Amino acid sequence: MSAIVEFRGVGYTVEQAAGSLAILQDLNFAVEAGETLVLLGRSGSGKTTALKLVNRLLAPKGGAVLVEGKATVEWDPIRLRRRTGYVIQETGLFPHFTVAENIGLVPRLEGWPAERVRRRVDELLEGMGLTPGEFRGRRPRELSGGQRQRVGVARALAADPPVLLFDEPFGALDPVTRFDLQQQFLGWRRTFGKTALFVTHDVREALMLGTRIGLMHEGKLEMLVAPEEFKRGTSAEARAFLASLDWRMESDAHRPKQ
């Protein structure tokens, strides 16, 4: 196994009136080829910032983020971004583009011939369970939330990037659609065999999709373990997340017998 993405002593701060605020501190980890590394954390834990450092929407203030062995600041940002698929909550699709234009964007920017782009779009629509003939010409507003997210994933996969970045992609969906897409995600992972860095605040999602889970807390990586091991986590933050998962069982236990 080799690291596709590597964080080496990464720090990130933002300047505020009151002084500089540390968002990330001394972050060290590697995303190995083929795995889905989930960064789990509360809002404000720094997980989204970490993700944006990978495709250089942000540049680290300390340390280095390496993609395919090369620091992000040494990459041409345009080249780097075309080699990293990016999926965010449902608002990321271009409203004035059709589904086919959204999915075919990066291949087109990369100068693929139109016919090859078209074939790739159809192949990805099929892969996402969306009939090409029906969906190719639609606009994002003519899709359901779940369909939009599938188009978002297809767009990220289009130019076959070595790594995919997911920023709470299923966060805005209703629970049933979310569960459906999470299951499909596991299928796509088998089909496309991609390396992924996935950010979420949903511990269920982390346990379901992650091959490893990195727990982010106040800008630090508290632990980075396999899901089974995460369930036995003893730190306060890990227990807080696991408790949110166990609510139903606990409340059942406390419910008075009839």
Partner 1 sequence: MLTGLSSEMVARTLEHLELVLVAMLVAAAIGIPVGVGLTRRAGLRGPVMGLANVLQTIPSLALFGFLIPVPLIGGIGKRTAIVALVLYALLPILRNTLVGILGVDAAVRESAVAMGMTDWQVLREVELPLATRTILAGVRVATVTTIGTATIAAAIGGGGLGVFIFRGISTVDTNQILAGAIPAAMIAVAADEGLGWLERKLLPV
Residue where the block lists tokens 């693929």:
112
Q: Residue 120 class from Cβ within 10 Å (0-12 exposed, 13-18 middle, 19+ buried)?
A: buried
Nearer to partner 1, 69 or 95 (CB): 95
CB of 239: closest distance to partner 1 in angstroms?
A: 33
Nearer to partner 1, 86 or 230 (CB): 86
Helix (H) or strand (E) holding 198: strand 195-200
Nearer to partner 1, 108 or 118 (CB): 108
CB of 205: closest distance to partner 1 in angstroms?
A: 20
DSSP lists the bridge partners of residue 30 as 6
Q: Residue 49 class from Cβ within 10 Å (0-12 exposed, 13-18 middle, 19+ buried)?
A: buried
Nearer to partner 1, 86 or 185 (CB): 86
Nearer to partner 1, 9 or 137 (CB): 137
Residue 237, classed as helix, strand or coil, is: helix
Nearer to partner 1, 79 or 255 (CB): 79
Per DSSP, helices labelled H in the chain are 47-54, 77-82, 99-103, 105-109, 114-127, 132-135, 145-157, 175-192, 203-209, 227-231, 236-254
CB of 100: closest distance to partner 1 in angstroms?
A: 15
CB of 92: closest distance to partner 1 in angstroms?
A: 4
* 36-41: strand order across its sheet: 84-87, 163-167, 195-200, 36-41, 212-217, 220-225
Which residues are near partner 1 by CB under 8 A? 55, 57, 77-82, 84, 86, 88-89, 91-96, 105-106, 109, 155
CB of 89: closest distance to partner 1 in angstroms?
A: 7
CB of 86: closest distance to partner 1 in angstroms?
A: 4
